[in-house]
Structure 1
Amino acid sequence: MRINVGLGIFVVSLLVVPVMDAVYIKGQVGLYDKFYVTVGLLALAGIGDALVQGGLIGVAGELPERYMQAIVAGSGGSDWYLKESLLFSIVLVCDLRFPVPTRASANSRVDPGLTPFLVEKHSFSPELAVKTASSLTYVKDPRKCDTIISFLKESGFSKSHIEAVVKRKPNLLYSSLEKTIKPKFKIFQDLGFSTHDVADIVASDPWILTRSVDDRIAPSISDLKTVLGSNDDVVKLLKTSAWFLKSDLQKTMMPNIEFLRNCGICSSQIVSYVFSFPRFFLLKPESIKQFVERADALGFDRKSNMFLAAIRMLSSMSEENWELKLKLFRKLGFSEDDIMSTFRRTPQVFAVSERKIKQVTDFLLNRTNVGISFIISHPMVLICSLERRLKPRLLVIETLESKNSLRRKVSITTIYKMPDKKFREKYVVPYLKELEEVSMSIVGT
């Protein structure tokens, strides 16, 4: 009896999967119903196999010994067959649970209702709709996404804003509107941010909508306003660095700024650096103190306007890279005093790549009548763009000098220091005829 029941269960378990695929599934992937049924059938097949083997062993026990030996030998093959069957079923289940997308059937890997809904109702591009739906395979009712998208539209988000949000964080469309989204918008509105400002900030970093209002967003905005002074400046910063709202500024930015002020650095310079090098202020306070100690050890004057630039530069490079930069300057002909003088006057030069320093140096020494002493005296020239400033400007001056168009010789200092607008007004616009052979795209006019 047990043998017959076990065989019946085992046969039924094997037959249900192909029958279900032919009648119900019909080639679709990602259906959870089939996943759960298949898992149940695996367990049922195991029960059936146990009943069959238990019944056979019971019967063999009443027969001569050779029959038991045959059963034991046969059960090894049966176990192998069962394991192979189970392995096949597991592969099948994994394929159903985690379908592998193919280029030929990109639309079939997602919920068939979400993709057309995003395209037809909200004008998503087919590519973005498919990508979004593939990240939201658990969404069974597209109306949940509709609620979030509609709210964003009502809150002043343009099509490009919404696309930016969805590309960066698609699962935001399945968040709780009341608990997750609205409280963040309310705090922005209460603090006086315009709808367009909020849209720009959220689109640049939608992860901020997952942060706590009371523990992170509101305190961070308050701290930024204390440092920067106005909502307009806070908005300006957050549009490019919204990740400030994901950090605990009381543990990083605020103590760092207080320490730098105590070092004698003025607030206006600190604010300028917050916009130019925002991540510098999110370093651990212990690290900032170490960089200040290094600058002090190198003989830097804290009263110098370059002190903050020196600290920031030291924070951007390891001690190993610092040593490599020292070796480079020595190789170019800088003495130890020259190197320290360059660092104190123009610390930004040490952040320039080794490749660029070599290129600018080689160009100046080979193309112009200057020596290494000029570069030592004017290290700022190493920061200038070789392709956008030095080369085109020298080409202009050389062309004008070859035609005797200039009353006096132009120094290399003037060439690299003069602002772009003034250079064009003085050396390009009055000499357009003389510069006909010079590519205007190189000159920059």
Structure 2
Amino acid sequence: MSASALFRTARTCRAGLPAMARHSKALGLLPSIQAALFSGSGSAPRKKVMFPGALTSEYTHDLRFASSVESIPTYQVMDTDGRVLDAANEPHMSKEEARNIYKNMLILNAMDQILYEAQRQGRISFYMTSFGEEALIGSAAALDSKDHVFGQYREAGVLLQRGFTLEQFMNQCYSNEKDLGKGRQMPIHYGSKELHFQTISSPLATQIPQAAGAAYAMRREGSKQCAICYFGEGAASEGDFHAGLNMAATLGCPVIFYCRNNGYAISTPSIEQYRGDGIASRGIGYGIDTIRVDGNDIWAIYSATKAARKIAVEQNKPVLIEAMTYRVSHHSTSDDSSAYRSTKEVEDWSKRDNPISRMRAWLEGKGWWTKSEDAEVTKAAKADVLRAFAAAETLKKPSIRHLFEDVYDQLPPQLERERAEIEGLIRKYPDYYQVNEFAK
């Protein structure tokens, strides 16, 4: 079944009223709806409810509580051996594009290995890897370059696919003078105005309502672009998730909500987070077109995101994608996952269902890649990462003047006084404040 067909299947769960009646005018009950509700013989039993809050419901005489619905299927294009299961789902991708995507998966993997070890050596303060979730790059490949991205923290692959350089990654993780964030963020909190990637922030789920609001602005502008918002299943337990999805649904916002359901929210397994049918069922509850995909299948992600973007942009509607995957890595360098899961579980997942192995098998099956190229590309990627890493390590810290920039157009008197005080202290005690370590 194609991604588009699965979207149509999900929509049947809430079929009933025309689309316009689900928008804001329906709150006041359109005359045609009123007529449909209150017409008919007074003696004939009424099947449809009359209440404006549940217009597609029907009356029943059976006293039953609903506790479950049919589980939402998981869309898949290729199996774990990289074989496309239905020829109709074969991705329309050129050899050059497919190879580039796979190379970015290998580069991301190499960068994660080196920066993880760098944190363990105390050379950077924090890091998060994408081990086991590299197929996320498929979603970036399906977007327009001007679509706005709202990330959580495990979306380095999206930036890589968009053209963020290794130098820019390293500069941000080192918070040096060339860091686009001017040293104001902890490592992996990337952002790029040029690449339409909103700066990541640490508080969980704040990006979800922000993405809905940005998408609403895009709709009003008629830009024909959409926003995509990435988050984990743990973030879906935050109130911002529910506020963001409900706002997007009722206002008709062209936004794709992309949930990475990787099994664990930091140290909490999904079984302890919810009892419903994953996160996808919540999208149905909010009246949002929803699909669940195999999150380790890069082509399932690519096809679903492409179809979701079409819905969002052409129909001004939000879409929810739940990508089922597995976090092979620790949550971050602040976490030791062996405390809440066995190493055997992790090893089994790595061998049984590896996104990189699946993609490589698909490429080899088409004659577009050879096993020997893996070692060559990985070796070159590590060399490039280490080169950028070494250069970033030698650069100075951002100028202290950045402490006072980018908030006010004109500094208020209080901050002027604080700046003058700091400058005075630095002049008086230059060795204590190590002024030579900062850019001018």
Same fold (TM over 0.5): no
Between Structure 1 and Structure 2, the one with more strand by share is 2
Return the index of the structure with the highest Cα Rg.
Answer: 1
Higher RCO (CA-CA < 8 Å; seq separation 6+): 2
Identify the TM-score tier after normalising by the shorter chain: under 0.3
TM-score (norm 2): 0.23
Q: Normalized against structure 1, the TM-score is what?
A: 0.23
